[in-house]
Amino acid sequence: MASPLRNALMLLAITAAAGAITAVPERSVRMVPTDTLGGSAEVGDLPEDGMPRLDEDGHGGSKDGTPDGGPGKQGPTGHRYECAPGKNGGSTEKGVTATSINLASTIVTSGPGSTFLGQSQYGLQAVVAKVNAGGGICGRSLRLRLVNDNWEAQRGHQFLRNFINDPAILALPVVPSSEGLLAASREIAEAGVPVIGSDGMLIDQYQNRWIWPVATATVSQMRILAKHAYDQGSRGFGIVYDKRYKFGVEGKTAYEQYVRSLPGARLVHAEGIEPGQPGYGPEIDRVSKACGQSSCEAMVMLLDPGTAEVWVAGDDKFSSRSKYRLGAQPLFNDRFGQNCRDRCDGMIVVSGYVPPLEGNSSLPGIRTYVQDVKAVQPNADVTNQFLEGAYLGMTVFVEVLKRVGPNLTRAALRQTMDSFDFESDLSGPLSWRPDKRFANTRAQAWRMRASSSFDGFQDLRTGWLNDPNG
Amino acid sequence: MKKRSRLQRAVRAAACVAVWVTLAAPPVAGNDVASSGIRVVGSVPFPHPAAGNDPTQPNGAIVLDSENRLGYRIADVEGAATIKSFNLDTLREVASGNIGATVARTSSFLVSSPGVVGGGRLFLADSVGAVWVLNGRTLEVVDTFPGPMPSTPSADAKGRTRTPLGAEVVRTAALAYVPGSAGATGKLLVLSEPILTGAEVPERPVVFGLSQWDARSGQEEWATRTDACRSGRGSGQVPLYGSRLAISSPPDRPGVRDVILACLGRQRTGEIWRIELSPMAAQPLASQTLVGLVPAAKDFYIDAAGRRAIVATEGGAGQSFVGVDVDRRGAYGIVQASLAGNKSSILLPTAVSAGLDPVTGRLYSFAAPSELPTEGKRLDGGLAVVDARRSPMPQGLQFPDLNPERRGGSAAIAVDPARGDKPARVFVRYGVASANSRAADEITVIEDTVPVQTDIPLGAADRFTVNVPERPGLTRASLNGSASAYGARAIAVGGLSAANDSVAGSDGDTVGRGFVDLLVTNRCAQRNREASLASVAKETGLSDSGMSAASSALATDPSVPPDAAAPVASCQETGLLRNGVKAPPLHDLIAGSIDDSLGRSWGFSAAVCSTGESDEAPHENDTLGDGLPPPDEFRATAECSADGTKLRATAQAGAARLSNLKVQSTTTVVDVQRLEKGGIEVRVQSVAEGISAPGFSITRVTATAVSRAAGRKGTASTDFKRLWCGITTSNTSVSGCINPDERADVVSALNTVLNLRDYRIEAPVLDEELRAGTPGGALAAVQKNRFASLGDRLFNNDVSTAVPAMQIIHTHDARSGRGRQVYQFAGVEASTAYNISLQLTGDGVANREPLGGADEGLPSIVPSQHEGGGAIIVPSERDDTPLSLGRRMRAIVEGIRYLLRDPLSLLSAVALVFTAFALPLHFLDRRRAVRGLMANGEV
């Protein structure tokens, strides 16, 4: 064969090889969305940086198109497990079998907390359905048990204690009911039961080495709100807070401390109220008296939506008393807006997540979130930020399960979570380390719009506001 | 070696180029708002009139002809209108002309008289109804079509006549151009309206006429009356308000021509109508459907392509835009543009202008900043950009920096849609900054590169389920069944004071309501109220993770219990007669066996349960005050089974008065259970008996909803039935029961009677997509239409998604706010989601033990990136049946087709073939050569 022809053939061969090789990833990228969060049939190496990220369609898995979860993990008996059905090592930990991963969580579907936490269950259910539809994780499907504790600490404590002592439960994902979670915190740490993806309502969640919140902490939100109002010119600050539930007390303390650290700013009045009361006449009078003559330029409402609705309904000066009415994430809630209506027009609320509103709706991860949730509950209020947070928390948990792979243990979960980074369209980048639990320290500000009805939330285009205390 | 090295370098370079070429992907369309935006790119001069008219008045309108790249600016000067055209790309002036009549309805052109382009012509209706026809390029007047005036029935010089449609003086209210097809000339659709002023006159019918003229000759082809806005009470202050007309085809019936008509009805309630045109000139209207009612309307913008109407409103809360979906028949969002009112025909800083992009449906509005300091409200003003085809309508992006002089709006905004890579251009004429200043003497041209946002569709709802029979240990089910219901429900929008009917004022206000508000500023009377009898809460449901239920004999909005507990203190009467008038708190809401005028406290706690629990209400300590228990007829139960397979919630209530209506008894029963054969079922039944109101009564209203899903093909379905029994009105009676979904004639007859009392009775529409269930069996639901229910939320304060068997609305909207009493009976909602997943084993489920027939393979899960109005997209399924010869051949052909899908792939495929077949020959040749050399001792 003539030399030029041979060279031409070689060139063609290499070109073909390049084309053929690059054609494969093209197919994989297109197929990635068809593989759900827990693709178990394929095994691949971790990306170089070891960080799972959502792909263009908001799904999990490494960027090279393969799912996370290293192959051939060595089990306690020295056997090498594989991330595949029948080869995953079977019962590697309490609550783990060859075919299932058993989980439990407490939710709030009644009582005052249900007004903002009530829909969180759909976030968990959506992720579970999605994972199981994709074949589970390393051949194990997820089994999730949810129990309503009415946002009561004692009731929630008892449920969680039962789960902790249940040898058939591996971990407690999200746990939307923060009061019971606080009550059971010590037992969770002692038993070493992972709680991944919690809502960050209470500071304890950031101090327990077995809890990894995804949310911006209430204390961070309070400082962000105070700084935002201060930057807009406010110097007189007020707060109405929930004095029964822990999130209110902690948030108020953080708010107070931060306001005092701001030059020229002062906390004019802090009114602690008992939630769930039929009316707040005397408390409203006290606020009106203390904040007379517009001295409370910025007023924060740190209440559950139901309690806030009753307060606003009885507070004729709610709209006019303060230049800036501010609300923490529990009030970023469609139902609250619908009940508050024009009195809440202009009120600023913050969220540590990316709400599925305005331009965010075109983000692939946001679209996936909305569609996943609607597939299990078509009526779900996807703008509820605790629902979105629950979906995100459960997604993080699933990503960690995938990262740990077949040899699934609580210790491995903890080890992985303590060096875990996660990126998605649902929030800013999240990062956990052994000495860093505040993975999310930012929030976005939105304005409630209402005329004679609640019109919706308007993006203030502030971008991410950082917790000034970092 | 040197030669080989060069070859290697060349090969490497070629390989790198090939890899780079192959990897280079086309740029993905960006959707990052931060990298796009709004910017001013130019202006078109718009000088004020030199003399004559008040120089503070802008007197200008903008009309665009995007197809011919021409824009027109129209000004009224001393009884005539001057028109100048400009090039839409260069913004340079092209021609000028004038007509001998004024064309503005208002001197500020905020509500402009109709101007429309088509067939290379500009059609302008003047203030007395005639339509002037100008050559679009030269702006010469080529004709003047006579208007639809009943006073000029005789033919004009060209023999053109107009059919009189009413006795009133009429004018041309709106024009729409219909392009001709297959050589036919275009048509003009003409909406005529009566000129009415002042107070409403019930005995004088209002007639909105619709006619079609040949756009070339001006000959009338047909003319007819419409049903639109015939409430007989006029709109008052007509010059301030607009009407609109557009032609559109329904997406599912492309050959059909619909007219979307918007006009003002009783007390300035905006009416949106969908009128289907018939091909028969003798009966030109095939059907007329009222698709939306919006209170306090002022003007309209019709998005013909998007099948939506945007209603500009002006009420007590300022100026807003309300979206109405023509096909889903309901409002879907509201955006407030200004907190200030602008009830004036001259241009004030409070004016708001607006316009629509006809291609994207994007709404632009321009306003000055506005504030209500006493209420702590503030709007930034400037240009607002709202993607008005989204449901709910978003609050949009605000660009206050574009309005540094804090000017108000002026003439209606015109939009030149994006073309290719050229972004949309928005033509805005800024208004005045103060009452005595001048409007801008130019049109500001703004380029918009903010990406248009669309709704997130429901998506492939079947993507989480596998079509296989359930087997313990082999499959798992994720499920969710939920329900909500009520026996009867009352919502008082605007409070109880708004329930007073009255003599209508000239401004759309009601004397009675204003009177009450003035005399008695009673919070209990003015608060919005809501009460539900025999209700089951929305959180009631069963899933694979747990269950809960909550039911109440009586549930109310949060403000009712405190008012009931301490009516005098809570209501704080502060009006002029505060010392003389007692608060009417719960007494007006609930009557019969509950008498809260005694000042009893609230005592209707809910029965709740979680897995393994049961509960019954009233509870031991429930009291209406002084230890008095709630009446026996008011009870609720909740039972959640210990095995997690079923729940039951019931509620019943005795006689009660819901404002103007009474109901004798109500009952609701909800059952949710997992089915033995797999799947989940939700059953909801609700009954309201003995409904009576002034002028009519109904013996019984029932609704039954069943939803089921089992995660397999064809298993998701629903049943829904509602009955109205024993209907009696003052002059009619219907014996037995009717299904209102099948007897539209009865519903219409009832409305004819009830309209006289401002009541409207209806059977609200269901969400048909969810009702049908997904083909894959994952999802089904009986609930209100997802989009129409947004309007219920906005205007009726109705946030429930349960669909009532019957809804009666008593409307008293007024300029001072909405006044509506909404009564709903037998509301039911049932939703089921069921997804089957496989539990894979080491051998693979399908190989080890077949789960079913040949059609039960795994679904191929399709990414849910489809766009479109909430359509449920069904994923295709992979076919695992054995390959026949034909299928094998098809597979080979498909494979070849894949390899040859583009030139680069073709190159790759050819090269692969060579690699496979030629390389071995090459190496063989090389080996032979090396052997030869070795044999010759050269190596």
Between B716 and B885, where is the model more confident? B716
Does residue A197 carry a pLDDT above 70?
Answer: yes
Averaged over A23-32, what is the pLDDT? 30
Which range among A11-15, B104-108, B361-365 has the greatest average pLDDT? B361-365
Distance CA A391, CA A399 (A): 12
Averaged over A357-365, what is the pLDDT? 87
Between B746 and B507, where is the model more confident? B746
Q: What is the pLDDT of residue B258?
A: 94
pLDDT 10s digits, A238-266: 999 999 988 899 999 999 999 999 999 99
A vs B, Cβ pairs < 8 A, gives 325
Under DSSP, the state recorded for B112 is: P
Band of pLDDT at residue A92, cut at 50, 70 and 90? very high
Band of pLDDT at residue B294, cut at 50, 70 and 90? confident
Comparing CA positions, the residue from B743, B157, B179, B772 lying closest to residue B462 is B772
Task: Give A 258-287 residues with CB within 8 A of chain B.
Answer: 278-279, 281
Mutate to test the interface with A, among B363, B389, B610 (most CBs of A within 10 A): B610
User: Two tokens at A190?
Assistant: 């002692």
Comparing CA positions, the residue from A90, A66, A37 lying closest to residue A407 is A90
Which range among A200-209, A440-449, B119-128, B574-583 has the greatest average pLDDT? A440-449
Under DSSP, the state recorded for A140 is: B
Does residue B556 carry a pLDDT above 60?
Answer: yes
Does residue B501 carry a pLDDT above 90?
Answer: no
**Nearest C-alpha of chain B: how many angstroms from A433?**
31
Q: What is the pLDDT of residue A169?
A: 97
Distance CA B840, CA A169 (A): 21
Comparing CA positions, the residue from B359, B486, B442 lying closest to residue B806 is B486
Averaged over B273-285, what is the pLDDT? 87
Tell me whether A121 touches chain B (CB under 8 Å): yes
Q: What is the pLDDT of residue B729?
A: 82
Tell me whether A10 touches chain B (CB under 8 Å): yes
Q: What is the pLDDT of residue B499?
A: 57
Between B61 and B895, where is the model more confident? B61
Distance CA A392, CA B819 (A): 42
Q: How many residues does chain B have?
A: 939
Low-confidence winner among A367-381, B127-141, B156-170 (lowest mean pLDDT): B156-170
Percent of all residues in chain A with a pLDDT value above 70, rounded to a whole number: 83
Backbone dihedral angles phi then psi of residue A410, each to the nearest 5 degrees? -65, -40
Nearest 5 degrees, angle CA B334-CA B337-CA B338?
A: 130
Mutate to test the interface with A, among B395, B401, B538, B672 (most CBs of A within 10 A): B395
User: Hey, are the CB atoms on A34 and B833 less than 8 Å from each other?
Assistant: no
pLDDT 10s digits, B451-480: 888 887 766 788 889 888 998 878 888 899
User: Hey, are the CB atoms on B840 and A40 less than 8 Å from each other?
Assistant: yes
Low-confidence winner among B241-245, B488-492, B623-627, B859-863 (lowest mean pLDDT): B859-863
Between B138 and A18, where is the model more confident? B138
Does residue A418 carry a pLDDT above 80?
Answer: yes
Q: What is the pLDDT of residue B506?
A: 37
Pairing of strands B370-372, B362-367: unpaired
User: Hey, are the CB atoms on A125 and B908 less than 8 Å from each other?
Assistant: no
Between B317 and A415, where is the model more confident? A415
pLDDT 10s digits, B741-754: 888 788 877 877 77
Mean pLDDT of chain A, nearest integer: 83
Tell me whether A24 touches chain B (CB under 8 Å): no
Query: Which residues in chain A have Cβ-Cβ distances shorter than 8 Å to B544?
Result: 125, 144
Q: How many residues does chain A have?
A: 470
pLDDT 10s digits, A136-159: 999 899 999 998 888 889 999 999
Distance CA A342, CA A338 (A): 9
Does residue B912 carry a pLDDT above 50?
Answer: yes
Averaged over B884-913, what is the pLDDT? 63
Query: Which residues in chain B have Cβ-Cβ distances shorter than 8 Å to A99?
Result: 473, 839-841
Does residue B23 carry a pLDDT above 50?
Answer: no
Distance CA B114, CA A157 (A): 69
Does residue B582 carry a pLDDT above 50?
Answer: no
Between B47 and B673, where is the model more confident? B673
The Cα-based distances of B922 to A15, A251, A455, B908, B919 in angstroms read 17, 77, 74, 19, 5
Closest CB to A125: pick one of B480, B570, B908. Answer: B480
Residue type, A295: S
Does residue B404 carry a pLDDT above 90?
Answer: yes
Contact B587, B496 (CB under 8 A): no
Percent of all residues in chain B with a pLDDT value above 70, rounded to a whole number: 70
Backbone dihedral angles phi then psi of residue B926, each to the nearest 5 degrees? -65, -45
User: Hey, are the CB atoms on B546 and A148 less than 8 Å from each other?
Assistant: yes
Q: What is the pLDDT of residue B898?
A: 58
Residue ranges with strand state E in B569-694: 607-610, 614-617, 635-640, 646-653, 656-658, 661-663, 665-674, 680-693
Distance CA B684, CA B830 (A): 7
Averaged over B692-719, what is the pLDDT? 93
Band of pLDDT at residue B253, cut at 50, 70 and 90? confident
Supply the pTM of this predicted model.
0.73
Q: What is the pLDDT of residue B917?
A: 65
Closest CB to A278: pick one of B602, B606, B840. Answer: B602
Does residue A210 carry a pLDDT above 90?
Answer: yes
Comparing CA positions, the residue from A226, A200, A103, A205 lying closest to residue A160 is A103
pLDDT 10s digits, B856-895: 333 332 222 333 333 333 233 333 344 456 656 666 666 6
Does residue A58 carry a pLDDT above 50?
Answer: no
Q: What is the pLDDT of residue B20?
A: 42
Percent of all residues in chain A with a pLDDT value above 90, rounded to a whole number: 57
Band of pLDDT at residue B214, cut at 50, 70 and 90? very high
Rounded to the nearest 10°, the torsion over CA B863, B866, B870, B874 is -50
Query: Which residues in chain B have Cβ-Cβ distances shorter than 8 Å to A177?
Result: none
Mean pLDDT of chain B, nearest integer: 78
Contact B849, B841 (CB under 8 A): no
Does residue B603 carry a pLDDT above 70?
Answer: no
Averaged over B224-241, what is the pLDDT? 67
With CA atoms as reference, the chain A residue closest to B456 would be A367
Does residue B708 carry a pLDDT above 90?
Answer: yes
Averaged over B541-559, what is the pLDDT? 85
Low-confidence winner among B145-159, B387-401, B689-703 (lowest mean pLDDT): B145-159
Distance CA B281, CA A244 (A): 73
Averaged over B419-427, what is the pLDDT? 94
Mutate to test the interface with B, among A81, A333, A339, A451 (most CBs of B within 10 A): A451
User: Hey, are the CB atoms on A133 and B463 less than 8 Å from each other?
Assistant: yes
pLDDT 10s digits, B137-149: 999 999 999 987 6
